[in-house]
Amino acid sequence: MDGLKQGYRLSQAENPKDLPAQFFQVNSHLGRLLQNHVRFPTPSNYFKMILIQSKNLKNVVIALLEKAGSQAEEADTVASHLVRANLCGHDSHGVGMLPLYMKKLGEGLLNPNQKPELLKEDGSILMFEGNRGYGQSVGKQAMEQALELCKTKGLVLMTLRNSYHMGRIGTFGEQSIDAGMVSLHFVNVTDHPPLVAPYRGSDARFATNPACIAMPGTAKQPPILLDMATSRIALGKVRVALNKGEELPADWLIDHRGQPSRDPRVMESHIYHRSGKESPPGALTPAGDYKGYGLALFCELLGGMLSGGFTIQPENERKGGITNNMITFIVDPSRLLEIPAMHHEIEAMVNYVKASPPADPENPILIAGDPERISLREREKDGIPVDDNTWNQILDAGENLGLDRENLLNISGI
């Protein structure tokens, strides 16, 4: 395992059973899924995984962000957010986003060192402008102000418009949890072509439009955190599959003809924001068919329209960035009931749900937030797996900024 922790590179294998046992020991839960479900139909599906300790990976990200113009505090905030997404198992919203961020900085679509601009304060309503700043940073600062106001108001509605990509929305739910608050977040994505088809549709009309609900935990029950895209899969997960050469389940994507596809290349032009030899653009499908489609629409109307950032409909300009607009509702639960009663009900309800006999003993019932905690424990111990393509994209981005590749490798510890 010592070699793994320093950056074990997975050797090519004829099939999953030939893979070294150490690889699956790195993450026992995800390892079982890989052994059971990852397909290796052709040599193009061979990929290398590198394990990097979270502290080292964060330092690599900070180096790129500071070189690209971020001040130290912003670089630390953004890097912490991205690495925590990886730690929680959400590689789609982790450090793999960094090369695209660097590209959009160069295009003037992402502005470093922005503060959320307070546009309006009306009782318990706060409205902020993000000015295309890093969403991880302006979002955190807007949440801090909203949480502080909620201490006196008991209920706050906060909007943030025109933020650059906010990353994993669950991070903002965790801010509420840490403050002892309940929060709901609805987010839309604009400034680029749509990615997700409506239910019964054959082309894209929405982005992945995430929603998040956060509930504090108790002494016995960890916090409950639902953080989900309204599509079956986040676009970043398609990027991960594309970089690994993996196929996806047939109901996750449609091609440019509206037909089911397993090939992540149908989304390549969306992922890398270019047009060339890639396949004609397809679309993601909504989670739960009409249910995810309905939620996606309300993310547009709540997160987009009511924030003043507006929606993805084509009357609104698209410059090719990733703009997020968010509406957040924060509640102080102590204004509604006694906290001991709340804790008892949370514990009793979760225990009742988990007492259902699992259909498969190998897959116990989980509560929202459990998968992230499982991944967090394992990856904090063993390191964060980064596929070789993503890692080289990060190193290339660093070199394009003028950083020394060998120095970045030394910082990473591999």
**b vs e for 200-209, b when ≥16 Cβ sit within 10 Å of the residue's Cβ?**
ebeebbbbbb
* Average of per-residue pLDDT across 385-405: 97
Q: Taking phi first (over 0 means left), then psi (-120 to 50 degrees means alpha), and beta for anything else, what does residue 53 get?
A: beta
Which residue reads 């393509």 in tokens?
389
- Say whether pLDDT at 37 is over 80: no
Dig out the tokens for 23 from the structure: 């690889």
**Least confident span in 24-38, 131-145, 400-414:** 24-38
- The answer on 95 and 43 residing in a single domain is yes
Assess if residue 13 is contained within a domain: yes
- The answer on 171 and 82 residing in a single domain is no
Query: Are the C-beta atoms of residues 94 and 237 closer than 8 Å to each other?
Result: no
Q: In this predicted model, what pLDDT tens digit does every residue of 298-310 receive, in sequence order?
A: 999 999 999 999 9
Q: In this predicted model, what pLDDT tens digit does every residue of 110-141 receive, in sequence order?
A: 999 999 999 999 999 999 999 999 999 999 99
H/E segment holding residue 49: strand 49-52
Higher pLDDT: 1 or 212? It is: 212
Assess if residue 149 is contained within a domain: yes
Dig out the tokens for 109 from the structure: 């679509």
- The answer on 81 and 142 residing in a single domain is no
- Say whether pLDDT at 179 is over 90: yes
Cα–Cα distance list, 187 to 33, 112, 210, 317, 331 (Å): 30, 21, 5, 18, 18
- pLDDT value for 33: 39
Average per-residue pLDDT for the chain: 89
- The answer on 126 and 23 residing in a single domain is no
Higher pLDDT: 373 or 250? It is: 373
Assess if residue 265 is contained within a domain: no
The CA distance from 369 to 110, in Å, is 30
Can you give the pTM of this predicted structure? 0.86
Q: Which residues form the domain of 293?
A: 117-231+286-335
The CA distance from 397 to 76, in Å, is 18
- The answer on 27 and 152 residing in a single domain is no
Q: How many CA atoms lie within 13 A of 363 on its CB side?
A: 6
Sort 305 into a burial class: Cβ within 10 Å, 0-12 / 13-18 / 19+: middle
- The answer on 294 and 218 residing in a single domain is yes
The CA distance from 76 to 74, in Å, is 5
- The answer on 93 and 131 residing in a single domain is no
* Average of per-residue pLDDT across 188-209: 95
